[in-house]
Amino acid sequence: MKLDTRAMRHLTVEDWKVLAAVEQGSKNHELVPTTIIERLSRLKGGASGVHRSISNLAKVGLIAKIKEQKYDGYRLTYGGLDYLALHTHAQKKNVYSVGSRVGVGKESDIMIVADEKGAQKILKIHRLGRISFRTVKTNRDYLKNKPSASWMYLSRLAAMKEFAFMTALHEEGFPVPTPIAQSRHTIVMSLVDAPPLRQIASVPDPAVLYAELIALLLRFAKHGLIHGDYNEFNILIREDVSTADDGTESITLVPVVIDFPQMISMEHANAEMYFDRDVECIKRVFARKFHFVSTTPGPFYKDAKKTVGKDGAKRLDAVLEASGMTKKMAKDLEAAIRQQEEEKQQNPEAYEDEDEDEEDEEGSEENDEEDSGEDDEEGENKEEQRVLVIGDISSIEG
């Protein structure tokens, strides 16, 4: 599954209203009955217009028809959710066009987007469960029975949590992208013009960078937080060039940290394990990549714990509650992330080769009719380069 904006231009105002109605109806109905869609979409033309839109939306895979014993109904697909989120970003003038995909995490799509002025930004689309639910049979969890609804629910939670932490960290002056907006399972943030540490073959002074990354990890701790996935993909290394008075240039490497859905509190029951894992991860990367091993042991959780909230450091681990995430939501998300980690360990191949993603493997009923879109003769590869203007889509609010 990936973001496919091809049908976007062809949707009418009525189609958007009906799509929004299906989303709204999904809050109370796993399958939204047509009568409810009719009521919620409040189209002036009445039922026939709604039916026409339903058929349009189903044709391009934004909603999917499900036949049930009791009644037939529709549910929003991930594609439909993508469209609604993009629509909101477009209306708020945060996104005008969608460009190429820069990263395919297994649990997210990372796209370059631009606003009306052409300023580039990053759109992160959370796809929690994209891997796990391919193997639904082996899933013992509570999510098993209604995978698609749960995907969306969990992905929304992931975006919500990530945005809340990015905002709080940014306000505290941490080197993180600038958060711009969140809608549903997506986030818009500033584009960091820097490769991940993963892609850096050598640095002038590994000891300096190592010390800096450890200092950053301790700074998180001081504010009550553990990143939880402090690895070479989630640390971008920016090169800041400065010129001295005598004209000599020097380069400073500035780490920028990303990816926050799994952040946890220093008070978490397993905090020490997560803290140690983050530390070990950095040590391993530096040993393997730069053959650098620090002579200083640690840092250790028990020491870091004593610094939490010291020197006036604002506690950021309470951010989530303030963002409207309930305890239950936080628990659901944590369970899903933990489950995903376990699967990653059991089935590492599924998570490797970030760019070689075989699309649509998970092809469920919602993708079946995807290819009936009018203009996909250019095929999959070309689609990557296409810049699609979405900023002129009409309002569904009116």
59 or 170: CB nearest ligand ADP: 170
Residue 327 to residues 8, 167, 323, Cα–Cα distance (Å): 36, 20, 11
Which helix (H) or strand (E) segment is 219 a member of? helix 206-222
- State the Cα–Cα distance between residues 69 and 62, nearest whole angstrom: 23
Sequence-separated (6 or more) residues with CB below 8 Å from residue 302: 272
Catalytic residue check, 371: no
Please give the size of the binding site for ligand ADP, defined by CB under 6 A.
17
Token duo for residue 153: 């629910």
Among the listed residues 14, 23, 82, 259, the single contact to ligand ADP using CB under 6 A: 259
Active-site position among 82, 115, 229, 278: 229
- State the Cα–Cα distance between residues 10 and 373, nearest whole angstrom: 10
Residue nearest to ligand ADP (CB): 105
Annotate each residue in 1-30 with x if it binds ligand ADP (CB under 6 A) or - if it does not, as one string.
------------------------------
Q: Is 192 in the site for ligand ADP (CB under 6 A)?
A: yes
Q: Is 181 in the site for ligand ADP (CB under 6 A)?
A: no
Q: Is 119 in the site for ligand ADP (CB under 6 A)?
A: no
Token duo for residue 260: 């926050």
3-class SS at 382? helix
DSSP 56-83: HHHHTTSEEEE--SS--EEEE-HHHHHH
CB of 192 to ligand ADP, least distance (A): 4
Nearest CA-CA partner of 232 in 255, 265, 206: 255
Annotate each residue in 224-263 with x if it binds Mg ion (CB under 5 A) or - if it does not, as one string.
---------xx------------------------x----
E-strand stretches of 52-207: 63-66, 73-76, 97-105, 108-114, 120-126, 179-183, 186-190
Q: Is 131 in the site for ligand ADP (CB under 6 A)?
A: no
Sequence-separated (6 or more) residues with CB below 8 Å from residue 213: 230, 235, 255, 282
> Residue 189 binds which entry of ligand ADP, Mg ion, none, with Cβ cut-offs from 5 to 8 Å by kind?
ligand ADP
CB of 346 to ligand ADP, least distance (A): 19
CB of 194 to ligand ADP, least distance (A): 7
CB of 254 to ligand ADP, least distance (A): 13
187 or 393: CB nearest ligand ADP: 187
Burial-class residue 245 by CB neighbours within 10 Å (0-12, 13-18, 19+).
exposed
Q: Is 318 in the site for ligand ADP (CB under 6 A)?
A: no
CB of 263 to ligand ADP, least distance (A): 12
- State the Cα–Cα distance between residues 212 and 275, nearest whole angstrom: 16
Q: Is 108 in the site for ligand ADP (CB under 6 A)?
A: yes
Q: Is 124 in the site for ligand ADP (CB under 6 A)?
A: yes
Token duo for residue 287: 């040993």
Positions marked catalytic: 229
Binding site for Mg ion (CB under 5 A): 233-234, 259
Binding site for ligand ADP (CB under 6 A): 102-103, 105, 107-108, 110, 122, 124, 177, 189, 191-192, 196, 233-234, 258-259
